[in-house]
């Protein structure tokens, strides 16, 4: 191996590329490709959210700023949560980060050291396990089960994975890639197990508003106290169509605010002020936009279910939330290989299920928050490819 590469830490050398990135890199320059691989909708950020950001920039807000976020945004986050979660939150509970990803990174840096373990039900978004391995901590993956058209989390199996090295249970609900959503009873059981073991709940609720059973999904905020071991990651990316802005937040007990600010200081030293100005407007004025996006997602979900559910080779669970369809193809044993073939042969791009960890192989993930005619065309291309007998 090249000497320069060998000089890197073993963890960084060993970390594989996310299969989502591999698929996107393979397909994104292909003429006419319909991409369903990445987790974002087709709509640009509403102008109403962008305008305060451009005005701020033009008005010269171009200097260093508060490491944990401007007070106006932290207060807007408190207002938003008080409005949607039915109890009072304070600005001190919210720390602004570089996207949801940096909220996750900040959280795991604070709670997991070398050889410490974080339990993750899988299939799961690969961006928990990757950063854990890079910092020398250990993701402990507990596969969920798929049967009779449903994904299920076996809580006994989940809690049996707790060891003296466990620092947290990481739960993403609604789930990327499954759309599976934890019930309030499941959240309570996880809360109780974490309290008993004295470990953290690492919650990722970035799809909380993309829920088809009500105005938002059941949340750890419904069942936990404000000052307990709960770190909750969230982002502007999904609800407000702001993936490219790279702004998110970490919600935590207020006792931790100063510590989290220090960790942010040594990672990014804070998020650009002008971006945060747009985020304030998104929170205060974005509810109608979210409702509209979720309705579009629900209609698209139904379109996808209708197109796939009667195909004999396909297995799927109807998602309760998020905006992904995770579907199995009978006989498929190498989802990466099949993903690349579908890109090449049908000009449609999915993400390979195997990249989402144990339990994910044999499945593909499709992000369906797309323009309906593009969705229909992509489904037509894929189902034709499948029906015309392509050996998997």
Which stretch in 65-73, 82-90, 96-104, 380-388 sits in contact with ligand PLP by CB under 6 A? 96-104
**Tokens 């109608």 sit at which residue?**
288
- As measured in angstroms, the least distance from the Cβ of 231 to ligand PLP is 13
Taking CA atoms, 324 is separated from 40, 298, 386, in Å, by: 10, 11, 20
Going through 144-208 in order, the beta strands assigned E by DSSP cover 145-147, 150-152, 166-172, 200-204
- As measured in angstroms, the least distance from the Cβ of 96 to ligand PLP is 12
Secondary structure (3-state) at 93: helix
Going through the chain in order, the beta strands assigned E by DSSP cover 34-35, 94-97, 117-122, 138-143, 145-147, 150-152, 166-172, 200-204, 230-235, 248-251, 314-316, 324-329, 348-349, 351-352, 363-367
Kindly tell me which residue out of 27, 100, 121, 218 binds ligand PLP, with binding defined by CB under 6 A: 100
Nearer of residues 39 and 139 to ligand PLP, judged by Cβ: 39
- As measured in angstroms, the least distance from the Cβ of 103 to ligand PLP is 8
- As measured in angstroms, the least distance from the Cβ of 21 to ligand PLP is 12
CA distance 78 to 243: 22
Nearer of residues 135 and 313 to ligand PLP, judged by Cβ: 135
- As measured in angstroms, the least distance from the Cβ of 245 to ligand PLP is 8
CA distance 267 to 7: 22
Q: Are 112 and 91 in contact (CB under 8 A)?
A: no
Is residue 378 at the binding interface for ligand PLP, with CB under 6 A as the rule? no
82-100 CB burial, b ≥16 within 10 A, e <16: eebeeeebebbbbbbbbbb
**Tokens 């279910």 sit at which residue?**
305
Kindly tell me which residue out of 176, 181, 293, 338 binds ligand PLP, with binding defined by CB under 6 A: 176
Nearer of residues 239 and 347 to ligand PLP, judged by Cβ: 239
Kindly tell me which residue out of 101, 144, 230, 314 binds ligand PLP, with binding defined by CB under 6 A: 101
Is residue 355 at the binding interface for ligand PLP, with CB under 6 A as the rule? no
Give the per-residue contact string, 19-58, with ligand PLP (x = CB under 6 A; - = no): --------------------x-------------------
Give the pair of three-digit tokens for residue 277: 């100005």
Using only C-alpha atoms, the chain has a radius of gyration, in whole angstroms, of: 21
Query: Hey, which residues does 143 pair with through a beta bridge?
Result: 122
Q: Are 58 and 50 in contact (CB under 8 A)?
A: no
Nearer of residues 279 and 386 to ligand PLP, judged by Cβ: 279
Nearer of residues 122 and 235 to ligand PLP, judged by Cβ: 235
Give the per-residue contact string, 177-216, with ligand PLP (x = CB under 6 A; - = no): ---------------------------x-x----------
CA distance 83 to 89: 10
Is residue 229 at the binding interface for ligand PLP, with CB under 6 A as the rule? no
**Tokens 């974080």 sit at which residue?**
118
Which stretch in 52-60, 99-107, 212-220, 254-262 sits in contact with ligand PLP by CB under 6 A? 99-107
Which stretch in 180-188, 235-243, 276-284, 374-382 sits in contact with ligand PLP by CB under 6 A? 235-243
Is residue 251 at the binding interface for ligand PLP, with CB under 6 A as the rule? no
Kindly tell me which residue out of 45, 56, 106, 172 binds ligand PLP, with binding defined by CB under 6 A: 172
Is residue 248 at the binding interface for ligand PLP, with CB under 6 A as the rule? yes
DSSP, residue by residue, 223-286: HS-TTSSEEEEEESTTTTT-GGG--EEEE--GGGHHHHHHHHHHHTS---HHHHHHHHHHHHH-
Kindly tell me which residue out of 105, 166, 208, 237 binds ligand PLP, with binding defined by CB under 6 A: 237
Burial class (CB in 10 A: 0-12, 13-18, 19+), 242: buried
- As measured in angstroms, the least distance from the Cβ of 180 to ligand PLP is 12
Kindly tell me which residue out of 89, 125, 159, 211 binds ligand PLP, with binding defined by CB under 6 A: 125
Chain positions contacting ligand PLP, by CB under 6 A? 39, 99-101, 125, 172, 176, 204, 206, 235, 237, 243, 248
């Amino acid at each position: 191996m090249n000497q320069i590469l060998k000089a890197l830490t073993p963890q960084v050398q060993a970390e594989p590329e996310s299969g989502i990135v591999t698929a996107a890199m393979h397909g994104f320059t292909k003429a006419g490709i319909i991409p369903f691989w990445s987790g974002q909708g087709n709509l640009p950020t509403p102008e109403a959210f962008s305008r305060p950001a451009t005005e701020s920039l033009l008005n010269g807000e171009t200097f260093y700023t508060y490491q944990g976020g401007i007070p106006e945004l932290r207060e807007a986050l408190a207002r938003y949560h008080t409005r949607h979660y039915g109890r009072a939150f304070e600005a001190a509970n919210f720390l602004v980060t570089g996207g949801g990803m940096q909220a996750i990174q900040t959280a795991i840096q604070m709670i997991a050291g070398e050889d410490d373990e974080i339990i993750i039900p899988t299939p799961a978004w690969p961006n928990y396990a990757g950063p854990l391995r890079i910092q020398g901590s250990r993701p402990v993956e507990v596969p969920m089960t798929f049967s009779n058209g449903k994904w299920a989390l076996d809580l006994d199996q989940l809690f049996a994975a707790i060891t003296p090295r466990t620092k947290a249970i990481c739960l993403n609900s609604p789930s990327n890639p499954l759309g599976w959503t934890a019930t309030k009873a499941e959240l309570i059981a996880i809360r109780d197990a974490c309290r008993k073991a004295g470990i953290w709940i690492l919650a990722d609720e970035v799809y909380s508003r993309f829920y088809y059973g009500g105005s938002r999904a059941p949340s750890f905020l419904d069942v936990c106290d404000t000052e307990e071991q709960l770190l909750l990651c969230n982002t502007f990316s999904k609800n407000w169509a702001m993936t490219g802005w790279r702004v998110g937040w970490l919600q935590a007990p207020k006792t931790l605010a100063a510590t989290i600010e220090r960790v942010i200081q040594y990672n990014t030293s804070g998020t650009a002020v002008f971006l945060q100005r747009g985020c304030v407007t998104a929170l205060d004025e974005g509810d109608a936009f979210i409702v509209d996006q979720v309705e579009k997602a629900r209609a698209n979900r139904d379109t996808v279910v209708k197109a796939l559910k009667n195909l004999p080779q396909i297995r799927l669970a109807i998602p309760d939330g998020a905006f992904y369809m995770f579907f199995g193809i009978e006989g498929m044993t190498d989802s990466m290989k099949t993903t690349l073939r579908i890109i090449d042969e049908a000009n449609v791009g999915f993400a390979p299920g195997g990249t989402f960890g144990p339990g994910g192989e044999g499945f593909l993930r499709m992000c369906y928050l797309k323009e309906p005619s593009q969705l229909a065309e992509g489904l037509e291309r894929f189902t034709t490819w499948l029906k015309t007998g392509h050996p998997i």
